[in-house]
Amino acid sequence: MSSDADAPVDAGAASVEDLRAQVQALQEEVSDLREATDDDGQKSMTIIATKGTLDMAYPPLILASTAAAFGWDVVVFHTFWGLDILHEKKSKNLKLSAVGNPSMPMPNAVAALPFMDNVATSMMEKKIQENGTATVEELIETSLDMGVDLQACQMTIELMGYDEAEFYDGVTTGVGAATALQHMADADVQLMI
Amino acid sequence: MSTYEPTETLDVKGLSCPMPVVKTRGAVDDLESGGILQVVATDSGSMSDLKGWADSTDGVSMLEQEEAEEDGDAVFRHFIQKE
């Protein structure tokens, strides 16, 4: 009925049949693709955290804990100075740099004085407390509780001379760039902070 | 005042981003199916954040959000139902 031979006399019916078949084939293809690409609809995020200053410790932790609240699969891969965020002792003593930050209410010549980083850090810590903003430690504990995978790059642990035991319990060690890339390749959101 | 009768109330007054959303997630996980969680926050960003969270999270719906005043401070109440 839908063969080409019928076309001249039954063009309308033939094309409807063809379209039906095409639609069905497309539906099957879409369904196969969905199955292959989006198994359970869970979103995934990978963040690479490379900075160890007080202000730069917050964005990855805030995004990671919030994404976990959305039910996303989250990995934060910490490397270089980002390792300090996971370092139990150092994380409680992260500094804000007064130099090279145009938002600081002082010229660089003043900001470069030896005690100014401590002044800037104390000011920021006071603001964090007054604003009801969680501490870095609280955000780490919260993220770990919610199932965020906080990873510490093995190469930089050794480069910086850290001991794995110095990191928070629950931090993943023994991972490298390949592990990070593997998660990034499947992630819906990838960020380098 | 809201017309919804909450099953549980979560007080996140004084906390700022991301804690209202993070704590709401935990409270919803503990909530029984069909229950209504009232979240009381002072963070004005919670109006957008909790709506966004509820809209893109399976199994929860934002029933109502209201701004009120409590002891001279603005408070934001959110009513979230677990399906």
Q: Residues, chain B, total?
A: 83
Residues 6+ apart with CB under 8 A from B49: B17, B18, B20, B21, B43
Q: How far, rounded to the nearest angstrom, does the alpha carbon of residue A51 sit from its chain's CA centroid?
A: 14
Q: Any CB–CB contact under 8 A between A132 and chain B?
A: yes
| pLDDT, tens digit only, all 193 positions of chain A | 445 554 455 556 678 989 999 999 999 999 988 877 666 778 999 999 999 999 999 999 999 999 999 999 999 999 999 999 999 999 999 999 888 888 888 888 888 888 989 999 999 999 999 999 999 999 999 999 999 999 999 999 999 999 999 999 999 999 999 999 999 999 999 999 9
Determine the pLDDT at residue A145.
95
- Closest among A104, A12, A116, A117 to A54, alpha carbons compared: A117
pLDDT at A36: 75
Q: CA–CA separation, A141 vs A169, rounded Å?
A: 9
Q: Classify residue A93 as exposed, middle or buried by CB count within 10 Å of its CB (0-12, 13-18, 19+).
A: exposed
Residue of A nearest to B51 (CA): A70
Q: Which of B14, B17, B25, B67 is catalytic?
A: B17
**Which residue ranges make up each domain of chain B?**
8-82
Among A66, A71, A131, select the one facing B18 at the smallest CB separation: A66
| ipTM > 0.85, yes or no | no
- The pLDDT of residue A34: 82
Say whether residue B16 is in contact with chain A using an 8 A CB cutoff. yes
Mutate which of B22, B46, B53, B82 to disrupt the A interface (most A C-beta within 10 Å)? B22
Give contacts of B53 with chain A, Cβ < 8 Å: 66, 69-70
- pLDDT per residue as tens digits for the range B15-70: 999 999 999 999 999 999 999 999 999 999 999 999 999 998 999 999 999 999 98
Interface of A with B in 81-110 (CB under 8 A): none
- Residue B51 designated active-site: no
Please report, for chain A, the start and end positions of each structural domain, with discontinuous segments joined by +: 4-37, 44-192
Q: B8-82 adopts what CATH topology?
A: Translation Initiation Factor IF3 (3.30.110)
Chain A residue with the nearest C-alpha to that of B27: A69
Is the pLDDT assigned to residue B77 strictly greater than 80? yes
Of the pLDDT bands very low, low, confident and very high (cuts 50, 70, 90), residue B3 is confident
Q: Is B45 on the interface with A (CB under 8 A)?
A: no
- The CATH number given to A44-192 is 3.40.1260.10
Taking an 8 Å cut-off on Cβ atoms, the answer to whether A134 and B58 are in contact is no
Q: Does B44 touch chain A (CB under 8 A)?
A: no
Whole-number pLDDT of residue A4: 52
Tell me how close the Cα of A22 comes to any Cα of chain B, in angstroms. Answer: 33
**Least CB-CB distance to B21: which of A41, A66, A139?**
A66
Select from A71, A131, A142 the Cβ nearest to the Cβ of B22.
Answer: A142
Residue keyed to tokens 């093995």: A154
Q: Which residues contact A176 (CB under 8 A, 6 or more apart)?
A: A153, A154, A155
Contacts with B21 from chain A: Cβ below 8 Å:
66, 69
Nearest CA-CA partner of B18 in A26, A78, A138:
A138
